[in-house]
Structure 1
Amino acid sequence: MNKFQITWVAVCAVFLMISSAVAQSSGGIRGIVYDEDFESPLAKAEVTVAETGRNVAATEEGNYVISGLEPGPYTLIVSKEGYTRKVFANVVVPAGCMVDQDASLSGEFTDMEEFVVQDLNMGGASEEGLLNLRMEAPALMDAVGSDLMSQAGASDAAQALTLVPGTTIQDGKYAVVRGLPDRYVSSQMNGVRLPSADPDKRAVQLDQFPSAMIESVQVAKTFTPDQQGDASGGAVNIILKGIPEKRVLEFRVGTKYKTNVGDAGDQFLKDKGTSISAWGHDAGSIQPQDINAQWTGALGVSRGDSPSMYDWSVTAGDKFQIGPDLRVGFIGSVFYKKEASYYEGRDDEYWLDRNYNRSTLVPYFSGGGAYMDYRGEVVPNWRSEGNTSLFDIQKGTEELQWGTLGAVGAETENHELTLLYSYNFSAENTAQLDEDTRGKYYYFPDYDPKDPTSPGGADSDWPRPGRDYSQFAPFRRTEGLEYKERIASSLQLRGKHTLPSGDYRLGSVLTIKEPEFDWTVAKSKSIIDTPDRRTLSTYWLVDENGDPSHKVESGEGGIAELQRNWRKVEEVSDQYFYNMKLPFEAWNGDDGFLKVGAFNDQVDRKYDENTYYTTQTLSYDADWDVLWNEHYSSLSLDMEDYPLDVNYDGKQNVSAWYYMAEIPVFSFFKLMGGARFEKTDISTTMRDVDPDAKLYIPKYNYSSVNFAGNEGDANASVKQNDVLPALGFEFTPHEKITVRGSYTETIARMTFKELAPIQQVEEIGDDIFVGNPDLGLSSLKNYDLRFDYNPYPGGLISLSWFYKKIKDPIDYRQQLLAGSILATTADNYSEGQINGYEIEVRQSMGEWWDLLDGLSVGGNLTYIQSELDASGKEIKDLFDAGLADVVAAEYDGTIRDMMGTPEYLYNLNATYTVPKFGTELGLFYTVKGDALKTAGTQDGGYYFPHVYEKEYATLNFSLSQKLWERWKLGFKVKNLLNPEVQDVYRSKYTGQDMVKNSYKKGVEFSISLGCEF
Structure 2
Amino acid sequence: MKMKTNRMAFMAALLASTTLVPAAAFAQDAESPSDVEVITVRYQYIPEARRVTSEVSASLSIDDLLTTGDSDLAGALVRITGLSTTQGRFVVVRGLNERYSNTLLNGSPMPSPEPFRRAAPLDIFPTNILSSVLVQKTFSPRFPGEFGGGVIGIETSALPEEGFFTAGVDGSFNTITTGNHGLTYHGSDTDWMGYDDGLRDIPAELASVFETTRVGNNLPADQQQAIGRSLVNSELWVIQNVDTDANGAVSFNAGDRYDFQNFSLGVIAAFQYSNAWETREGQRGKGRIGAGDELVYENGPPLADRSGIALPGRGINNFLGTENTIDVSGMVSVGVDFYTNHSINFLTMALRSTSKEARIEEEFNAGANGVFRTDSTEWFERQVLFNQLTGEHLFESLGGLSVEWRVSDATATRDAPYQRNAEYAHTGAGYVYEGTVNGNSTSFSEVEDNTSDYGIDLELPVELGSMDVSLTAGYANTSRERDAWTRRFSFAPGSVGIPSELLSSRIDYIFANQNITDERLRLIETGGLSLPEAYHGQLDVDAYYVGADLELTDFVRAAFGARFEDGELSVDTFAFPASAADSGLVETQQQEDYVLPALTLTWTFADNLQLRTGYSQTIARPQFRELAFAEFFNTETDQRFQGNPYLENTEITNYDARLEYYFGREQFVTVGAFYKELTNPIEEFIIPIGDGLNTSFINAPSATLTGAEFEYEKTFDFSDSWDQPFFNDREWFVKTNYTYIQSEVSGEGSVTVAQGAFGNPQALVLSAAGFIEDGRALQGQSEHLFNVQVGFETFDGRARGALLYNYVSDRTRAVANLSDSLPEIVEQVPSSLDFVYSRTINVAEADWDVGFSVRNILGDGYSATQNAGGTELAVDTYDLGTTFSVSVSRTW
Q: Same fold (TM over 0.5)?
A: yes
Unaligned runs of 5+ in 2: 207-223, 517-521, 755-768
- 1:151 CA displacement: 2.4
Task: Provide the rounded CA distance (Å) in 1 between the counterparts of 2:525 and 2:775.
Answer: 44
- 1:585 CA displacement: 4.2
The Cα offsets for residues 143-167 of structure 1, whole Å up to 9 and x where unpaired, read as: 1223222322211111111111100
- Out of 716-725 and 242-251, give the one that drifted further: 242-251
- 1:401 CA displacement: 1.2
Residue 921, structure 1, aligned to residue 807, structure 2: no
Judging changes above 3 Å, is the alpha-carbon distance between structure 1 residues 729 and 912 closer, same or farther for their aligned structure 2 residues? Answer: same
- 1:10 CA displacement: 8.1
Question: Would the aligned equivalents of 1:319 and 1:329 in 2 still touch at CA under 8 Å?
Answer: yes
Out of 855, 864, 881, the residue aligned to residue 974 of structure 1 is 855
Out of 240, 254, 275, the residue aligned to residue 302 of structure 1 is 240
Judging changes above 3 Å, is the alpha-carbon distance between structure 1 residues 171 and 393 closer, same or farther for their aligned structure 2 residues? Answer: same
Question: Would the aligned equivalents of 2:700 and 2:751 in 1 still touch at CA under 8 Å?
Answer: no
Residue 647, structure 1, aligned to residue 531, structure 2: no
Out of 551, 556, 574, the residue aligned to residue 433 of structure 2 is 551
Partner AA of 1:907 in structure 2: N
Judging changes above 3 Å, is the alpha-carbon distance between structure 1 residues 549 and 795 closer, same or farther for their aligned structure 2 residues? Answer: closer
Task: Provide the rounded CA distance (Å) in 2 between the counterparts of 1:271 and 1:493.
Answer: 42
Query: Which residue of 2 is the match for residue 168 of structure 1?
Result: 84
Task: Provide the rounded CA distance (Å) in 2 between the counterparts of 1:376 and 1:915.
Answer: 64
- 1:251 CA displacement: 1.5
Task: Provide the rounded CA distance (Å) in 2 between the counterparts of 1:841 and 1:752.
Answer: 40
- The 5-angstrom pairing of residues 235-314 of structure 1 reads 235-264=151-180, 267-274=181-188, 276-282=190-196, 285-288=199-202, 290=206, 291-293=224-226, 294=229, 295=231, 297-298=233-234, 299-314=237-252
Partner AA of 1:528 in structure 2: R
Judging changes above 3 Å, is the alpha-carbon distance between structure 1 residues 917 and 93 closer, same or farther for their aligned structure 2 residues? Answer: farther
Out of 284, 298, 312, the residue aligned to residue 364 of structure 1 is 298
- 1:98 CA displacement: 11
Task: Provide the rounded CA distance (Å) in 2 between the counterparts of 1:633 and 1:147.
Answer: 56
- Out of 964-973 and 180-189, give the one that drifted further: 964-973
- Out of 179-188 and 412-421, give the one that drifted further: 412-421
Task: Provide the rounded CA distance (Å) in 2 between the counterparts of 1:800 and 1:683.
Answer: 39
User: What is the aligned-residue identity percentage?
Assistant: 23
Question: Would the aligned equivalents of 1:273 and 1:297 in 2 still touch at CA under 8 Å?
Answer: no
- 1:255 CA displacement: 1.4
Task: Provide the rounded CA distance (Å) in 1 between the counterparts of 2:150 and 2:192.
Answer: 38
Task: Provide the rounded CA distance (Å) in 2 between the counterparts of 1:7 and 1:963.
Answer: 34
- The 5-angstrom pairing of residues 396-407 of structure 1 reads 396-407=322-333
The Cα offsets for residues 546-601 of structure 1, whole Å up to 9 and x where unpaired, read as: x55523143xxx3x42111111111111100101100134544x643010000111
Question: Would the aligned equivalents of 1:283 and 1:529 in 2 still touch at CA under 8 Å?
Answer: no
Judging changes above 3 Å, is the alpha-carbon distance between structure 1 residues 309 and 11 closer, same or farther for their aligned structure 2 residues? Answer: closer
Query: Which residue of 2 is the match for residue 498 of structure 1?
Result: 394
Out of 336, 340, 349, the residue aligned to residue 410 of structure 1 is 336
Unaligned runs of 5+ in 1: 27-70, 72-91, 104-127, 378-382, 441-470, 503-512, 696-706, 878-886
Task: Provide the rounded CA distance (Å) in 1 between the counterparts of 2:573 and 2:259.
Answer: 55
Query: Which residue of 2 is the match for residue 758 of structure 1?
Result: 630
Question: Would the aligned equivalents of 2:686 and 2:814 in 1 still touch at CA under 8 Å?
Answer: no
Task: Provide the rounded CA distance (Å) in 2 between the counterparts of 1:607 and 1:876.
Answer: 22
Residue 797, structure 1, aligned to residue 669, structure 2: yes
Judging changes above 3 Å, is the alpha-carbon distance between structure 1 residues 537 and 548 closer, same or farther for their aligned structure 2 residues? Answer: closer
Query: Which residue of 2 is the match for residue 684 of structure 1?
Result: 571
Partner AA of 2:278 in structure 1: S
Judging changes above 3 Å, is the alpha-carbon distance between structure 1 residues 263 and 549 closer, same or farther for their aligned structure 2 residues? Answer: closer
- The 5-angstrom pairing of residues 337-486 of structure 1 reads 337-354=274-291, 357-358=292-293, 360-365=294-299, 370=301, 374=305, 388-411=314-337, 412-436=339-363, 473-486=369-382
Out of 884, 901, 904, the residue aligned to residue 781 of structure 2 is 901
Secondary structure, aligned partner of 1:815: strand
- 1:287 CA displacement: 2.9
- Out of 613-622 and 725-734, give the one that drifted further: 613-622
Partner AA of 1:946 in structure 2: E
Question: Would the aligned equivalents of 1:781 and 1:805 in 2 still touch at CA under 8 Å?
Answer: yes
Task: Provide the rounded CA distance (Å) in 1 between the counterparts of 2:498 and 2:282.
Answer: 29
Task: Provide the rounded CA distance (Å) in 2 between the counterparts of 1:800 and 1:9.
Answer: 18
Out of 631, 635, 654, the residue aligned to residue 782 of structure 1 is 654
The Cα offsets for residues 359-406 of structure 1, whole Å up to 9 and x where unpaired, read as: x4222227xxx48974999xxxxx9xx995411121111121112111
Question: Would the aligned equivalents of 1:551 and 1:620 in 2 still touch at CA under 8 Å?
Answer: no
Query: Which residue of 2 is the match for residue 962 of structure 1?
Result: 840
Query: Which residue of 2 is the match for residue 453 of structure 1?
Result: none
Task: Provide the rounded CA distance (Å) in 2 between the counterparts of 1:570 and 1:719.
Answer: 23
Question: Would the aligned equivalents of 2:277 and 2:325 in 1 still touch at CA under 8 Å?
Answer: yes
Question: Would the aligned equivalents of 2:779 and 2:812 in 1 still touch at CA under 8 Å?
Answer: yes
Secondary structure, aligned partner of 1:896: coil
Task: Provide the rounded CA distance (Å) in 1 between the counterparts of 2:125 and 2:12.
Answer: 38
Query: Which residue of 1 is the match for residue 260 of structure 2?
Result: 322
Task: Provide the rounded CA distance (Å) in 2 between the counterparts of 1:652 and 1:492.
Answer: 20
Secondary structure, aligned partner of 2:377: strand
Residue 20, structure 1, aligned to residue 26, structure 2: yes
Out of 587, 591, 604, the residue aligned to residue 715 of structure 1 is 587
Judging changes above 3 Å, is the alpha-carbon distance between structure 1 residues 532 and 938 closer, same or farther for their aligned structure 2 residues? Answer: farther
Task: Provide the rounded CA distance (Å) in 1 between the counterparts of 2:14 and 2:165.
Answer: 45
Task: Provide the rounded CA distance (Å) in 2 between the counterparts of 1:862 and 1:913.
Answer: 27
Secondary structure, aligned partner of 2:171: strand
The Cα offsets for residues 241-297 of structure 1, whole Å up to 9 and x where unpaired, read as: 332222222111111112222242xx3200124454453223755233634422461
Task: Provide the rounded CA distance (Å) in 1 between the counterparts of 2:462 and 2:719.
Answer: 41
The Cα offsets for residues 159-183 of structure 1, whole Å up to 9 and x where unpaired, read as: 1111111001112211110001111
- 1:410 CA displacement: 1.2
The Cα offsets for residues 296-336 of structure 1, whole Å up to 9 and x where unpaired, read as: 6132522123234211111111222211x312211111111
Query: Which residue of 2 is the match for residue 595 of structure 1?
Result: 472
Judging changes above 3 Å, is the alpha-carbon distance between structure 1 residues 308 and 771 closer, same or farther for their aligned structure 2 residues? Answer: same
Aligned length in residues: 824
Query: Which residue of 2 is the match for residue 845 of structure 1?
Result: 716
Task: Provide the rounded CA distance (Å) in 2 between the counterparts of 1:741 and 1:514.
Answer: 29
Alpha carbon RMSD of aligned pairs, Å? 3.5
Question: Would the aligned equivalents of 2:254 and 2:270 in 1 still touch at CA under 8 Å?
Answer: yes
Question: Would the aligned equivalents of 2:865 and 2:876 in 1 still touch at CA under 8 Å?
Answer: yes
Partner AA of 1:642 in structure 2: T
Task: Provide the rounded CA distance (Å) in 2 between the counterparts of 1:919 and 1:213.
Answer: 22
Query: Which residue of 2 is the match for residue 532 of structure 1?
Result: 418
Task: Provide the rounded CA distance (Å) in 2 between the counterparts of 1:279 and 1:362.
Answer: 45
Residue 150, structure 1, aligned to residue 150, structure 2: no
Structure of higher CA gyration radius: 1
Partner AA of 1:728 in structure 2: T
Query: Which residue of 1 is the match for residue 216 of structure 2?
Result: none
Task: Provide the rounded CA distance (Å) in 2 between the counterparts of 1:340 and 1:165.
Answer: 30
Task: Provide the rounded CA distance (Å) in 2 between the counterparts of 1:18 and 1:521.
Answer: 53
Out of 851, 866, 874, the residue aligned to residue 985 of structure 1 is 866
Partner AA of 2:266 in structure 1: G
Query: Which residue of 1 is the match for residue 812 of structure 2?
Result: 932
- 1:536 CA displacement: 1.4
Question: Would the aligned equivalents of 1:283 and 1:485 in 2 still touch at CA under 8 Å?
Answer: no
Query: Which residue of 2 is the match for residue 1001 of structure 1?
Result: 880
- 1:674 CA displacement: 0.5
Residue 671, structure 1, aligned to residue 551, structure 2: no
Partner AA of 1:993 in structure 2: E
- 1:533 CA displacement: 0.7
Q: Which structure is higher in RCO with an 8 Å CA cutoff and minimum separation 6?
A: 2
Question: Would the aligned equivalents of 1:153 and 1:956 in 2 still touch at CA under 8 Å?
Answer: no
Secondary structure, aligned partner of 2:475: strand
Residue 858, structure 1, aligned to residue 735, structure 2: yes
Secondary structure, aligned partner of 2:128: helix
Query: Which residue of 1 is the match for residue 451 of structure 2?
Result: 573
Query: Which residue of 1 is the match for residue 678 of structure 2?
Result: 806
Task: Provide the rounded CA distance (Å) in 2 between the counterparts of 1:234 and 1:810.
Answer: 17
Partner AA of 1:497 in structure 2: H
Question: Would the aligned equivalents of 2:630 and 2:642 in 1 still touch at CA under 8 Å?
Answer: yes
Residue 212, structure 1, aligned to residue 128, structure 2: yes
Partner AA of 2:473 in structure 1: V
